[in-house]
DNA sequence: GATGAATGAGCCTTCATTCAT
DNA sequence: TATGAATGAAGGCTCATTCAT
């Protein structure tokens, strides 16, 4: 009864991360990964079924973790009463983002894979999916609190989507620059202000 | 006098655009392009020399046009005297961006190729290059007019780079949404306000 | 009634020589030849039928000229009476070779093509063919004058073939070195002595 | 433990030898080799990395063996004292050549590949290299023993190069004739005498 | 369960030759 | 007759995946 050789699993994952990060999913070569991990292509298939499976194994826990955290944040916010929501939106968003950044830095490589190396996998739309959810929730909320520029039709859901994408991408860009966690947080706090001010121009255009 | 069969050139270009847009440069197959264009792989080589050449033929004029326009804009601005610069920065930037949007819409597919399908070609860093130039020029300019948060070290060039990337990407995101030109312009005007306000939080943080 | 454009024929030949010399018959590209000759591939086919035909056109006159000269030399020798033959063999061979060298130098490129670039054509065995004839004639002659080592079976026709090949190749080697005609002749005269002495060891082994 | 299917390695080598011998390196087709060997092109790559690697695998050991043997022979000779050298040159050369012939016959196909099918590989100059070495050593030696025709400038190194080439080629020609090993040796012994006598005409022209 | 050789489709590219203009 | 675009077979090579050992 042969047992899976200890350490191989981990080595494959480590080498796969590197290969995927360097070349992207499609251009990554399983043979190269196997060779670097000092094992055989076959043993990748035993453990991960196929190339997609390998990528998924690396990335899925982080996807789920991120999604859970994200939904928890949304959930918590939506359970607040209306007044609290309005009063704390800024600080809550900021604190939440801090937690998210921590999570991303705790799973840095995996997150980078999702960001820039997932083309060709079923995760290639992960970021878009998150943005979609964010847009949906927030847009509903803005409508709910009767935001004028939305009910007035000046800010469509599509435009809001673009803005949120811009926001997320600016955060991701910080990640891509591979700065230290603290520096990143400082920058992202600045970005929050930046985008908050930007959002004001959208939702309260009369002030501009 | 041997002539190229009429329409083949156009068909190849059209099918190549589609193939490149769908799969990206690397994953695109010349066989598929040739088959869709109802011709032979060889006839691609007759016209475009090789795969890179085909992509280049599609994209290069647009790259040059865009670069020229972009540099002309920068040049014109830098020739204004200091006072005019400060006073008209906002409106000038906005008008310039309108021209750029027009150019991009005039060459829509080509621009999308540059945006999302150029990995593996010598154009893969085109957007980054534009951003780099924009950052360089503008950062110098801000320093020149003695922006406090820059001389104070709060806004590093790196952070500014992130912000500009965010700005450009939001514009590109509009393009990606494939909306009508007019809608796009309207959105992008809004985005300009959005980012201007955001930039104020960076350059004049004392107000926030 | 369109006429063949003047000078094209010559230009194709010139460029073909260069291309064949540089790359050999198989690796030579008709498109390169046409391009260098400032004409079209088609015009090569009009004039020379195909790739082989082009090579042949360059080389065939020289092949024939050389063959004629060679056969004339053989013929003349065979018409001498036995005594004259024996007495003048050395000087006659030497003078003949001088004439041949002149011929080769008069058609230097063509000869080099035959020598080193004819693989893949019907001329690839041209040299062997010449050697075969030389062997046949000379061997018969040696037998005729009742050479002991031949009738004694010590020198087979095959061995004689090898020796003649060696002789010819040493002459060709001089050609390959691309020295001046005069220098070449001087060297080849030395080579004649060299091989004459060598031949003596074969035909009169008792002296060695 | 995945094993290479038995006999495939050998079959590929055998078919490759045949294909290379028949068509030369460049014109040989891996597809044809694979088909003849009843396997897939991929399995050639598994074993030999690429086309060059396949050729190299066949030929390299022989190249090294021959070179080692050759250099050992040169070395041994150069270690003799001057008098012994002069006295035994003939017999030593002859014995050495016998050993070389044995080696070539022990690796007949490989040697033929080197001889006539290596164009386009890194072995294409192997024979010239051997000749170059031989010329260098021997020319030095002749100078050293103060050969008159060398110091007199009658025999240049270039001419000597031509002569040595002629000698080697005559030996190779025997190989090409694919005669039995014994016959070959007998012929080559005769060739040695032939060329020795020839060399005398060069180095001691006053006797002729 | 581990191995890695085998597979064969697919990649870009080159070429001699044909043939419509 | 001149042109050179069109053709399609063939080239070397890579790869994810399968499967016998």
Please write the tens of the pLDDT for every residue from D60-85: 999 999 999 999 998 898 889 888 98
Supply D134's token pair: 């031989």
Task: Report whether D100 contacts D66 (CB < 8 A).
Answer: yes
The Cα D82–Cα D184 span in angstroms is 31
Mean pLDDT throughout D32-39? 94
The Cα D59–Cα D44 span in angstroms is 16
- Best of A124, A162, A165 to disrupt the B interface (most B CBs within 10 Å) is A162
pTM: predicted TM-score of the whole model, two decimal places: 0.88
Chains D and B touch (3+ CB pairs under 8 A): no
Q: Which residues of A touch B196 (CB under 8 A)?
A: 201
What DSSP designation does D176 have? H
Cβ of residue C45 lies below 7 Å from strand F: yes
Q: Identify the residue whose Cα has the smallest distance to the C1' of F6.
A: B43
Confidence of residue D10 (pLDDT cuts 50, 70, 90): very high
- Share the mean pLDDT of chain D: 91
CA dist list (Å): C74 to C78, C138, D158 = 6, 9, 31
String of DSSP letters for D117-175: S-TTSTTTTHHHHHHHHHHHHHHHHHHHTT-HHHHTTSS-HHHHHHHHHHHHHHHHHHH
Nearest-by-Cβ selection for B200 from A162, A166, A197: A197
The Cα A137–Cα B1 span in angstroms is 65
Give the pLDDT confidence score for residue C1 in this predicted structure. 36
Range in B110-124, C155-169, D80-94 with the lowest mean pLDDT: D80-94
Helical spans, DSSP H, in C107-180 = 108-116, 126-144, 148-151, 157-176
Question: For residue C169, is pLDDT > 90?
Answer: yes
Taking the CA of residue D205 and the nearest CA in chain C, the distance in Å comes to 9
Q: Which of residues 151-190 of B touch strand F (CB under 7 A)?
A: none
Q: For residue B133, report the phi and psi dihedrals to the nearest 5 degrees.
A: -65, -50
Give the pLDDT confidence score for residue D1 in this predicted structure. 53
Supply D24's token pair: 């030369």
Give the pLDDT confidence score for residue A1 in this predicted structure. 36
Q: Between B108-116 and B51-79, two packed helices, what is the crossing angle to 10 degrees? A: 100
- Share the mean pLDDT of chain B: 91
Q: Which residues of A touch B202 (CB under 8 A)?
A: 190, 194
Taking the CA of residue A81 and the nearest CA in chain B, the distance in Å comes to 27
Within an 8 Å CB–CB cutoff, is residue C115 touching chain D? Answer: no
Give the pLDDT confidence score for residue C3 in this predicted structure. 57
Range in A60-74, A110-124, A155-169, D144-158 with the lowest mean pLDDT: D144-158
Give the pLDDT confidence score for residue B93 in this predicted structure. 84
Task: Report whether A167 contacts B195 (CB < 8 A).
Answer: no
Which residues lie closer than 8 Å to D141 by C-beta, 6 or more apart? D85
Task: Report whether D169 contacts D177 (CB < 8 A).
Answer: no
- Best of A183, A197, A205 to disrupt the B interface (most B CBs within 10 Å) is A197
Question: For residue D32, is pLDDT > 60?
Answer: yes
- Compute CA A8 distance to the chain's CA centroid, rounded to the nearest angstrom: 29
- Share the mean pLDDT of chain C: 91
Mean pLDDT throughout B91-120? 93
Q: Which chains have 3+ CB pairs within 8 A of B?
A: A
CA of B26 to C1' of F7 (A): 25
Within an 8 Å CB–CB cutoff, is residue C182 touching chain D? Answer: no
What DSSP designation does C205 have? G
Q: Which of residues 35-74 of A touch strand E (CB under 7 A)?
A: 39-43, 45-47
Q: Which of residues 1-40 of A touch strand F (CB under 7 A)?
A: 28-31
CA of B178 to C1' of E20 (A): 42
Report the chain B residue with the minimal C-alpha distance to residue A128: B173
The Cα B53–Cα A122 span in angstroms is 31
Reported as a single tens digit per residue, the pLDDT across C59-79 is 999 999 999 999 899 889 888
Which residues lie closer than 8 Å to A193 by C-beta, 6 or more apart? B198, B201, B205, B208
The Cα B61–Cα D33 span in angstroms is 46
Task: Report whether D162 contacts C177 (CB < 8 A).
Answer: yes
Reported as a single tens digit per residue, the pLDDT across B142-160 is 888 888 888 888 889 999 9
Note whether D208 contacts C193, CB cutoff 8 Å: yes
Query: Quick one: which H or E segment has residue C50?
Result: none
Give the pLDDT confidence score for residue A39 in this predicted structure. 94
The Cα B54–Cα A123 span in angstroms is 30
Give the pLDDT confidence score for residue C148 in this predicted structure. 85
Confidence of residue C89 (pLDDT cuts 50, 70, 90): confident
Mean pLDDT throughout B80-95? 86
The Cα C110–Cα D106 span in angstroms is 39
Mean pLDDT throughout B16-22? 95
Task: Please name which of D99, D113, D103 lies closest in space to residue D16, comparing C-alpha atoms.
Answer: D113
Task: Please name which of D36, D63, D35, D33 lies closest in space to residue D48, comparing C-alpha atoms.
Answer: D33
Note whether B163 contacts A170, CB cutoff 8 Å: yes
Mean pLDDT throughout D153-169? 92
Strand spans (E) along chain D:
none
Report the chain C residue with the minimal C-alpha distance to residue D164: C170
Give the pLDDT confidence score for residue B2 in this predicted structure. 62
Q: Which of residues 20-49 of D touch strand E (CB under 7 A)?
A: 39-43, 45-47
Q: Which residues of C touch D208 (CB under 8 A)?
A: 193, 197
Which residues lie closer than 8 Å to A192 by C-beta, 6 or more apart? A93, A94, A97
Mean pLDDT throughout C194-206? 89
Which residues lie closer than 8 Å to D171 by C-beta, 6 or more apart? D97, D101, D188, D191
Which residues lie closer than 8 Å to A157 by C-beta, 6 or more apart? A135, A139
Percent share of chain C, pLDDT over 70? 98
What DSSP designation does C4 have? P
Confidence of residue C206 (pLDDT cuts 50, 70, 90): confident
Task: Please name which of D98, D107, D96 lies closest in space to residue D134, comparing C-alpha atoms.
Answer: D96
Q: Identify the residue whose Cα has the smallest distance to the C1' of E18.
A: C42
CA of A39 to C1' of E1 (A): 13
Which residues lie closer than 8 Å to D78 by C-beta, 6 or more apart? D137
């Amino acid at each position: 009864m042969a047992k899976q050789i200890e350490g191989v699993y981990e080595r494959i994952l480590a080498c796969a991360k590197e290969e995927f990060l360097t070349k992207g999913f499609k251009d990554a070569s399983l043979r190269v990964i196997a060779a670097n991990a000092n094992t055989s292509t076959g043993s990748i298939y035993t453990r991960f079924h196929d190339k997609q499976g390998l990528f998924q194994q690396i990335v899925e826990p982080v996807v789920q973790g991120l999604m859970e955290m994200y939904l928890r944040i949304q959930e918590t916010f939506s359970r607040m009463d209306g007044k609290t929501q309005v009063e704390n939106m800024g600080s809550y968003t900021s604190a939440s983002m801090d937690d998210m950044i921590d999570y991303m830095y705790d799973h840095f490589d995996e997150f980078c894979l999702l960001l820039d190396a997932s083309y060709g996998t079923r995760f290639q739309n992960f970021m878009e999916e998150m943005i979609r959810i964010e847009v949906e929730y927030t847009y509903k909320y803005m409508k709910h609190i009767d935001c004028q520029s939305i009910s007035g039709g000046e800010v469509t859901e599509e435009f809001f989507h673009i803005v949120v994408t811009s926001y997320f991408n600016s955060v991701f860009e910080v990640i891509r620059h591979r700065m230290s966690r603290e520096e990143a947080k400082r920058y992202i706090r600045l970005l929050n202000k930046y985008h908050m001010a930007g959002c004001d121009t959208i939702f309260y255009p009369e002030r501009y």
